[in-house]
Structure 1
């Protein structure tokens, strides 16, 4: 990657704010209401395939997980943002996914909630990294 290409679009405080909003949104019983003020926090994870956006998603997923949110948030984080990241950017992230799973039991557990996606090669590596599914 050349030095003039930014790896992230978001500043650290923006990632922290996004993580806070995502957790709050997922815990709000009114989250399905049209026009919910925190809906953006879930919608932002819908990847467009741009690498910089995927980088921001990766960082935010890790921040959310580090806050040890309740299981109701973990389930959505696995089946939504992490699964989408693997689907759209798995080949670019699989090395980091494997490394994080080796070092972080909570992340390894999170992988257990992801359904099969991405390329067969990436999915084989995800299955090995997670150890099992929920």
Structure 2
């Protein structure tokens, strides 16, 4: 970590946002959301104890939502706006369980069997 004593508050804030790793290491084996890492860097740089600050009841989280690579249909089997998963692997597993298919190139396509691009993608996969 660089010596931060000679930084102006403006420069220190810019460093915390643009390069939070210069102030504090990223947590959770690099799975920590960037916004949380930046907030921790700002708190560290300005010696703010985040545990004493209340928030407005909102929390930013990251998730994976799966869409068909060909038609962008969202995996939404119960009509409530789609499913959200913690990882890509969880999303793919669930999509396959609903009849979607993962292609060899990593794309995932829905069960649509009436549009030519979907039919062709499955035919290429089978050959």
TM-score normalised by L of structure 1: 0.23
Q: Which has the higher helix share?
A: 1
Higher relative contact order (CA 8 A, sep 6+): 1
TM-score normalised by L of structure 2: 0.24
